Amino acid sequence: MYDIYPNSVGFNNTGGYKSTTFTLRENVTFSDGSAWNATVFKWNIDRVHL
């Protein structure tokens, strides 16, 4: 069995949902060992919200 943990620890919406701040876990990596960080997170958010 696997333990699955979300990469985002939490988030906070401000300004009537015009701004969202995400708190990310530190030292998260992909299965190949490459870093999962704010740059990768933003790329994924931008990809979803074209």
The Cβ of residue 28 has, within 10 Å, a number of other Cβ atoms equal to 15
pLDDT band at 3 (very low <50, low <70, confident <90, very high): low
Q: What's the total number of domains in the chain?
A: 1
Answer yes or no: is 3 within a domain: no
Residue 6: per-residue pLDDT? 64
Cα–Cα distance, 20 to 2 (Å, whole number) = 30
Residue 23: per-residue pLDDT? 87
Answer yes or no: is 1 within a domain: no
Answer yes or no: is 2 within a domain: no
Answer yes or no: is 26 within a domain: yes
Residue 2: per-residue pLDDT? 58
Answer yes or no: is 40 within a domain: yes
- Residues 5-41: tens digit of each pLDDT: 666 678 888 888 788 888 888 898 999 999 999 999 8
Residue 8: per-residue pLDDT? 65
User: Quick one: DSSP state of residue 25?
Assistant: P
Residue 10: per-residue pLDDT? 80
